[in-house]
């Protein structure tokens, strides 16, 4: 029989598993956790996977005191022992945790997935309409090596325990120092930017051939309506236009022009409290 020594739990309300490339925004975290009772088995994060298994991946995974108690309860000894043995060969630690919690009757609550950014970089986070005003609890990755440090410092300031600023998805745009949307005009383009993320190959990105100008690309976005297009990118050399139902901060890329559906974003912004 396997003998496991159980250390006394530290008596915390919440337990957070966080990657070393992830930053928690503590005001947003406190706001989110204020909606939960830690005496209930709460398990939240950003899920990935399919019908074979869903688990929170990237950024942060949060367990309540009751969920952690069940994991370390004496009657879970055999389950925990099996998990420890499997950990010697399991590549996805997050999946191992999810499988183990399921055996204990604690399931990942996917209703709060939109509060976690999985990256790989904060500037690649897709700000969509269904989460525009939602608090953003964690950033997966910050600025890349060699880029300006200001965004990193701003996120670090907002993440500190002394800050009271809740960070919302839509705030990513301003954290990276891009123009205030309220001052932008419809169809305004920015040289050398990609606010769609055309290199990701995401299936929701629409592409149009033989588009001769940035203005014509904006017209493609405008005709789709603000619910279907929040950002557009024009690739001059290929005469291609790309639109997406989200926007990203994106990278600086020569030969591209990009812009936002300003009216729709201003409307969404006005709904944030």
Indicate the burial class of 101 (C-beta count within 10 angstroms; 0-12, 13-18, 19 or more): buried
146: left (phi over 0), alpha (psi -120 to 50) or beta: left
The residue count for the chain:
273
Which domains are present in the chain?
A: 1-177 (no CATH), 187-273 (3.50.4.10)
- pTM, to two decimals: 0.81
As a whole number, mean pLDDT of residues 27-47 equals: 93
* Tens of pLDDT, residues 81-102: 999 999 999 888 889 999 999 9
pLDDT band at 3 (very low <50, low <70, confident <90, very high): very low
Residue (of 131, 173, 132) closest to 154 by Cα position: 173
pLDDT at 148 > cutoff 60? no
Residue pair 196/242 in contact by the 8 Å Cβ criterion:
yes
* Tens of pLDDT, residues 158-186: 556 556 688 899 988 888 888 888 888 88
């Amino acid at each position: 029989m396997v003998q496991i020594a159980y250390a006394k739990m530290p008596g915390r309300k919440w337990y957070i598993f966080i990657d070393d490339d992830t930053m928690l925004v503590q005001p947003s975290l406190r706001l989110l956790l204020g909606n939960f009772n830690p005496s209930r088995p709460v398990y939240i994060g950003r899920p990935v996977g399919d019908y074979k298994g869903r688990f929170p991946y990237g950024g942060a995974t949060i367990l309540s005191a009751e969920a952690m108690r069940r994991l370390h309860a004496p009657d879970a000894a055999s389950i925990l022992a099996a998990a420890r043995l499997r950990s010697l060969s399991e590549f996805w630690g997050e999946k191992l945790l999810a499988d183990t919690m399921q055996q204990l009757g604690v399931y990942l609550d996917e209703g709060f997935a939109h509060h976690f950014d999985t990256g790989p970089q904060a500037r690649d986070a897709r700000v969509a309409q269904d989460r525009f005003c939602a608090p953003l609890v964690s950033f997966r990755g910050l600025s890349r090596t060699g880029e300006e440090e200001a965004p990193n410092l701003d996120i670090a300031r907002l993440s500190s325990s002394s800050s009271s600023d809740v960070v919302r998805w839509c705030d990513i745009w301003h954290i990276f120092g891009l123009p205030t949307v309220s001052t932008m005009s419809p169809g305004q383009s920015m040289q050398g930017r990609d606010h769609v993320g055309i290199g990701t190959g995401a299936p929701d990105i629409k592409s149009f051939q033989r588009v001769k100008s940035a203005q014509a690309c904006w017209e493609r976005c405008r005709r789709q309506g603000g619910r279907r297009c929040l950002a557009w990118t024009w690739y001059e050399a290929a005469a291609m236009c790309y639109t997406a139902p989200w926007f990203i901060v994106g990278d600086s890329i020569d030969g591209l022009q990009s812009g936002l559906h300003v009216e729709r974003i201003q409307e969404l912004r006005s709904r944030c409290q």
